[in-house]
Amino acid sequence: MTEKLTRQPFILRNPSILVVLAVLAVFTVAVTLLSQAYGNGTVPTSTVKVLGKTLCLALAAVAMDLVWGYLGILSLGQMAFFALGGYLIGQWLMYARTESIVAASLAGNPIPPTPAELQEGVANQIFGVVGSSDLPLVWAFAHSLPIQLLLVVAVPGLLALAFGWLAFRSRVNGVYLSILTQAMTLALALWLFQNDSGFRGNNGLSGLQNIPGLDAVDQATLSVWFLWASALALGLAYVLAAWLVSGKFGSVVRAIRDDETRVRFLGYPVEGFKLVVFTLAAMITAVAGALYYPQAGIINPAELMPIASIYLAVWVAIGGRGRLYGAIIGAALVSLLSSWFTGGRAPDINLPGYTVNWVDWWQVALGIGFVLVTLSAPKGIAGIVDHLGGIRPPRRATGEVPQPAQEAKA
């Protein structure tokens, strides 16, 4: 008995990790072999990009599941971190690429350009659209890939740390906290919408699909590279998340979800645990964003509007909270279905007297479907998987805050 409690490797205690990694590997290899760059071309490059982006969304969903499914915080601002990651990598992508273009155009001049002229040219190119020709301070490191890569995790991490510290310290809980996270992402979005925020206002950053220094590599090849990078990030994050929630740390985190007060009386600094998970999730989400937007090619402040984060929550809810693979299933399934239905490729349904056009009706169906899932299958698709796999689902994987127990008072 003692042996059983102590010596079981964590991978063996979590067989789902191996399954997920295997599925991910098979999927990535299969797409590669069917791609235009490395295979027979059955899967067009645009689809490879969609699949790569879907992996990034799944990665964000895994982080969301950590925060919501395990820690019990329904964060309606996760996509703020996602978009921040995208913006931060986008700064380098856009700067470096514009710099090479400007350098090429200035090379025709009789006098070679000074660094200041080069920078001015770049600033003019990037910010002419918002009527400015100065490089804002927030672009100070845009020329350097290593620094921007560091910032991709550091800035969202610090934001999450600061926000979380403020919110958790004052013990804001439940729906209050959800509203506050929503306010956070809205504030950020509104800030970025301004022309003088230094991020090109509602134009956002564009041309991100062109990777500086890789001009010779075509998009078909790049799309496969990004698919691999996204799959790798998802696999690593999955293992990390699974490790995090499996041990004593995971125990405490789930205990906080179920009864925060009791955990405090056990002597655990609840705020510290929340901060660690919230910040880590923000960093994972930021990495997902940094991989997503080079595949999407463009990012603008609309990506930070609260609705995007709510959709993320919806995916996780449909996939199944408190189950990491549930988050992946939910994100992949719903986002792929959404783009299929709203892409106009789904066949219309001809009813007598009315034609149901999916572009118009998908949102309605999704909304109603989501209500039905919440009502009848609160554990989502993962609940069905658990049922089929004979895994006993947890009794209270609801991520609810405990109700004020008035009768417990004297």
Q: Which of residues 148-167 bind another protein (CB under 8 A)?
A: 163, 166-167
Please give the residues from 231 up to 260 whose contact with another protein meets the rule CB under 8 A.
Answer: 244, 247-249, 251-252, 254-255, 258-259
Residue of the chain from 11, 21, 34, 180 that contacts another protein (CB under 8 A):
180
How many positions of this chain bind another protein (CB under 8 A)? 98
Cα–Cα distance for residue pair 154/283, rounded to 1 Å: 7
Q: How far is the CB of 89 from another protein (least distance, A)?
A: 23
Interacting span for another protein (CB under 8 A) from 43-51, 149-157, 379-387, 396-404:
396-404
392-410 burial, b at 16+ Cβ within 10 Å, e below that, comes to eeeeebebebeeeeeeeee
Q: In b/e form, how buried is each residue of 19-34, taking b as 16+ CB within 10 angstroms?
A: ebbeebeeebeebbeb
* Choice from 154, 179, 298, 337 touching another protein (CB under 8 A): 179
For the record, the structure tokens of 370 come out as 């989501």
Which C-beta is closer to another protein: that of 46 or that of 355? 355
- The Cα–Cα gap between 393 and 186 comes to 35
* Residue 194 near another protein by CB under 8 A: yes
Q: How far is the CB of 317 from another protein (least distance, A)?
A: 6
Least distance from another protein to the Cβ atom of residue 222, Å = 32
Q: How many CB atoms lie within 10 A of CB 257?
A: 24
Residue with tokens 């109700």: 403
Nearer to another protein, 233 or 312 (CB): 312
Stretch that binds another protein, among 49-57, 84-92, 169-177, 203-211 (CB under 8 A): 169-177
Rounded to 10 degrees, the C-alpha dihedral 268/269/271/272 comes to: -100
Selected from 154, 276, 333, 377, the binder of another protein by CB under 8 A is: 276
If the CB atoms of residues 228 and 268 are measured against another protein, the closer one turns out to be 268
Structure tokens at 339: 């783009």
Does residue 196 belong to the site contacting another protein (CB under 8 A)? yes
Residue 35 contacts residue 48 (beta carbons within 8 Å): yes
CB of 230 to another protein, least distance (A): 26
Measured distance between the N- and C-terminal CA atoms of the chain, rounded to whole angstroms: 41
Q: Which is nearer to another protein, 222 or 397 (CB)?
A: 397
Does position 370 bind another protein by CB under 8 A?
yes
Local structure of 181: helix, strand or coil? helix
Contact 91, 293 (CB under 8 A): no
Q: Which DSSP letter does residue 74 get?
A: -
Point out which span in 40-48, 83-91, 192-200, 331-339 binds another protein (CB under 8 A): 192-200
Per CB under 8 A, 369 contacts another protein: yes
Closer residue to another protein (CB): 239 or 276: 276
**Cα dist from 256 to 67, 92, 189, 276, 400, whole Å:** 11, 39, 31, 13, 11
CB of 84 closer than 8 Å to CB of 159? yes
* Interaction between residue 410 and another protein (CB under 8 A): yes
Q: What is the DSSP letter of 136?
A: P
Residue 400 lies near another protein (rule: CB under 8 A): yes
Per CB under 8 A, contacts with another protein among 90-149 are 109-117
> Which structure tokens are listed for 321?
């909270």
When binding is defined by CB under 8 A, the residue of 183, 214, 217, 349 that contacts another protein is 183
Please report, as residue ranges, which positions from 291 to 310 form the binding site for another protein (by CB under 8 A). 306-307, 310
Residues 40-69 that bind another protein (CB under 8 A): none
Of positions 22, 26, 42, 176, contacts another protein by CB under 8 A: 176
- Looking at beta carbons only, is 46 or 194 nearer to another protein? 194
Chain center to CA of 327: 11
Please name the residue ranges forming H helices in 297-357.
306-319, 324-342
How many other CB atoms are there within 10 angstroms of residue 37's CB atom? 17
The values of phi and psi at residue 130, to 5°, are: -110, 20
